[in-house]
Amino acid sequence: MKFLFKKNLSQIDEREIKTKYSIFKRYTAFYLATLLVISSFIGGLLIGQGRVSDLKEPESKEKTQAKVLNKEVQKEYLSQDVDFDLFWDVWKLVKEKYYGQPVNEVKLFYGSIAGIVAALEDPYSVFLDPETAQKFSQELSGSFEGIGAEIGIKDERLTIIAPLPDTPAEKSGLKAGDKVYKIDDFDTANIFLELAVNLIRGKKGTQVRLTIMREGLKEPIEIAITRDTIVIEAVKWEMVGKKRDIAYIKISTFNENTEPNFNKAIEEILTLNPKGLILDLRNNPGGFLDVAIKVADKWIKNQVVVVEKFGEDQSQEFRATNNAVLEDIKTIVLVNKGSASGSEIVTGALQDWQKATIIGEKTFGKGSVQDFERLKDGSAVKLTIAQWLTPKGRLINEEGITPDIEIKLTEEDFNSDKDPQLGKAIELLSD
């Protein structure tokens, strides 16, 4: 499966999935081989006598068999510079000498796998244990319990990518770009993304305190948020303007409900013969790749929507079909720094092909591709495998999409329910 996006408290991420049995199956085989090693000789290793040292010691039959299998795994997957025996040396030390016995072997094992992925130092590559992987799948279905915000790592800080509409996150005043310094009393410096998600999520009715730093503030502030059941309404639309002749479509996420609801909205809008159309992608953190492409498909005919770049010489183009029913309707796209991943793909494509005018603020800049692999025990690995480029070759990751007309939404605008970005779009389409 492919993700466009990072970890998600709103829809997680990501969330940009496309079923795919990929090159990472070989890594999956490695993890399963390691699991087989553990199950085959755990007794001999963990209760064996003697110290771990440079001195040779008698080995049990189970340990000898495990080493043979371990060497076979190393030969296929590891370089000569990696001695995988060190893994078992540390495992044995922890099991025999750590004061907090008994040690949970399952947590120990999952933690070791998480460490493999974390060593990549990529905020979007994570290992998910079975429980977390299940929560992730629930989020993708569009309903879960939490605060309703997408989070990610930006500039080495836990960051609110986007609070979703009508969620506790939005109602509490969280904004895209807020830096999260603490979750309750837990300092988030160097925090793993999956840990942050687990700390913020929780049962309906419970409370979480986020200490955040925001642009323009002199010191951090604490925001208390009561968790709730989050149901993501992917698509909303209405007619706006003085004459109610401009169609306004708000897409909050690209999940499994987005495409049918978007198609239905377009069918109804076209019967009204709108003068123009406003596509609002503000605070949309992304979602399924194929859904984002199908949305762009309504404006772009038989052209490239996005390019997936695997390396210097490897790339794949994703093209639109012959279904551009909106190509002749004057369109404006609204974006902000909470527009990420799939939102940036749609925005970049419409901008490159001059199918829309972009208004708002520079987008988040999340343009990497994650491959999602389910493992046999229900756990999963999400790995970055590529980057996205716009049709004209612009890099999305860390660069974002710069609007044609830049208009910021100020704190005063927010507090007084003013929306100068939407106002400008209506003004331009009314002329």
Q: One of 129, 178, 352, 371 is an active-site residue; which one?
A: 352
CA angle at 188 for the pair 13 and 225, rounded to the nearest 5°? 70
Asked about 341 being catalytic, the answer comes back as yes
One-letter amino acid for residue 99 of the chain: Y
- CA–CA separation, 136 vs 421, rounded Å? 33
The count of other CB atoms within 10 Å of the CB of residue 117 is: 18
Q: One of 6, 337, 366, 382 is an active-site residue; which one?
A: 366
Please name the residue that has the structure tokens 């992608």: 281
CA of residue 50 relative to chain centroid, distance: 46
End-to-end CA distance of the chain: 44
CA angle at 161 for the pair 155 and 165, rounded to the nearest 5°? 165
Please provide the size of the chain in residues.
431
- CA–CA separation, 146 vs 172, rounded Å? 13
Q: One of 125, 341, 343, 368 is an active-site residue; which one?
A: 341
CB–CB of 286/292 below 8 Å? yes
For residue 224, give the nearest of 275, 168, 274, 276 by alpha carbon: 168
Asked about 245 being catalytic, the answer comes back as no
Catalytic residue numbers, as ranges: 341, 352, 366
